[in-house]
Structure 1
C-alpha cells in the first residue's frame, strides 16, 4: 500500500469483527513503533500487548467497563470497542529522558524536569502510537487510540504489574473492521480541517 493511502485511510475504528488478528502483524506494529523519533534516543517507552481473551477482558474490567453493568445506560462506544481482540497500551517513562539528558554528552548536570519546554516522553510515545495506527492500516486492520480514565490508571497498573515509572498514555484497540464502523464525522467538522494550517504568521 502506498504511504499516502495509509494516511488517507487511517481512521479510528470502534467496532471489530470476530476474525482473529495475525500475531505477526501485531509484532510489526510494535516493531514500527520503535522507529519513531525520540529525544536523545532515550527510547523511554514500552508497549503492553494484550492479545488473549483473558488479558483483554482484564483490561476492560480494570479500566472501568465493569461499571457499565445491568443498571447502567447502554454504552454503544464501549460495547463496540470491547469487540477488539487485541489491545496495545503505550507507556511513557519520564525517568529515561531525565537520566539520558543528565549524561555528559548532553551537557546538563542534573535531572531537573524544569529544563524541558514540553514533556517529550509523552510526545515521543504519542508519535510511536501513531506508527502503530498507521501500521494497522497497512496490515488491512482497524485500530483506535483512546484515553484510559484517570480514576482507573492505578487499577490498570495493578492488573498488569506496570512499573510505577511507566505511565499509560492511552490504549489502542486492534482488529478487523466490522461492516458497520460508524460515522466518519459531520461534513461541517471535516470542512474545518484546513483552518489549522497557517503560513508565515498566524491568521484568524
Structure 2
C-alpha cells in the first residue's frame, strides 16, 4: 500500500469484528516505536499491548458504560487488542541533563512544552498508520476513568496518555464516511500561508 492509501485508510472506529490479530502483525505495528519522534532522541515512549481477554474486559467495564450512554456500542469490549500509550517523562530529563543538551549555564533546558506528551501524539499517529497498513482499524480513549492506571499496573514512573483500540473493522460504512467528508472544514480555514 502506498502512503496516500494508508493515510486514506486511517480513521477512528467504534466497532470491531471479533477476529483476533496475530502476534506477528502486532509486532510489526508496535515496532514503529523505534521510528517515533522523541525530543533529543530521549526514547521516553512506552507501550503496553493487551490481548488478555480478562484484562480487556475489566478495562471495558470502566469505559463502555460511559460510551454506551452516548449511543456507542461496547466498542472497547469488542476490540481484540488494546495498547496503552505511555510516556516516561524522566527519560526526557535524563537525556537533557547530558552535556550535549545542557543550557549555556550548564542546566537542563526549561521545557516550553511537555514534549513527552507532544511526542506521544506523534506515536499515536504512527500506530494508527501502521495498523491501517496492516488492514486494521483503531480507536482511542483517554485515561479519564478512575482506576485505569491501577488496573493496568503500570510502573510508577510511566504516564498514561490513553489507550488505542485495535482490530478489524466491519465492512466500510460508506454513508458514515461520506458524512465525515462533508463535515471537513475547507483547507483554507485550517492552513494559513505567508509567502
Q: State if a TM-score over 0.5 links the two structures.
A: yes
CA shift digits 1:33-91 (9 cap, x unpaired): 32111111101110010012112112223x444xx39xx97554251332110000110
1:100 to 95, 101, 114: 95
Partner of 1:10: 10
Partner of 2:40: 40
Within-5 A mapping of 1:55-204: 55-61=55-61, 63-65=62-64, 68=65, 74-108=69-103, 109-111=106-108, 115-149=110-144, 151-152=145-146, 155-179=147-171, 183-184=176-177, 185-200=179-194
Q: TM-score, normalising length from structure 2?
A: 0.87
Instruction: Evaluate the alpha carbon distance shift between residue 196 and residue 9 of structure 1 in structure 2; reply closer, same or farther with a 3 A threshold.
Output: same
Partner of 2:50: 50
Residues matched between the structures, number: 191
- Decide whether the 8 Å contact of 2:88 with 2:158 is kept in 1: yes
Distance 1:35 1:130 in 2: 12
- SS of the equivalent of 1:126 reads helix
Instruction: Give the stretch that moved more between structures: 126-135 or 183-192.
Output: 183-192
- SS of the equivalent of 1:28 reads helix
Provide the alpha-carbon RMSD of the alignment.
2.3
- Decide whether the 8 Å contact of 1:60 with 1:82 is kept in 2: yes
- SS of the equivalent of 1:82 reads helix
Distance 2:78 2:187 in 1: 30
Distance 1:198 1:187 in 2: 21
